[in-house]
C-alpha cells in the first residue's frame, strides 16, 4: 500500500510540474513510465519475498 501511495505522490508531482510548464509532455510521459516501472519492480520483489516467507511458514 505504501508503494502505491508513493507512486501516486510522484505522479501528482509530475503532473503539477507539467501543468506549471516545468517539464515537457514528452518528459512527463517518460517520467510516468519510469515511475510505473519502478513501482512494478518493487511490487514484484515484495511478492517474491512474500512467497518465500509463506513457503517457510508452511514447512513448519
pLDDT at 3: 93
pLDDT at 36: 97
pLDDT at 34: 97
Fold exhibited by the domain 2-59 = Topoisomerase I; Chain A, domain 4 (1.10.132)
Q: Where are the domains of the chain?
A: 2-59
Kindly report whether the global pTM for this prediction surpasses the value 0.85.
no
pLDDT means per 10 residues, the chain with 60 residues, are 92 97 96 97 96 91
If we measure between CA atoms, which residue out of 26, 2, 29, 22 comes closest to residue 11? 29
pLDDT at 52: 96
If we measure between CA atoms, which residue out of 41, 40, 13, 43 comes closest to residue 27? 13
Amino acid at each position: 500500500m505504501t508503494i502505491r501511495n508513493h507512486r501516486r505522490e510522484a505522479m501528482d508531482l509530475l503532473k503539477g510540474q507539467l501543468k506549471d510548464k516545468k517539464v515537457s509532455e514528452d518528459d512527463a510521459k517518460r517520467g510516468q513510465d519510469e515511475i510505473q516501472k519502478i513501482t512494478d519492480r518493487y511490487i514484484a520483489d515484495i511478492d517474491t519475498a512474500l512467497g518465500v516467507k509463506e513457503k517457510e511458514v508452511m514447512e513448519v
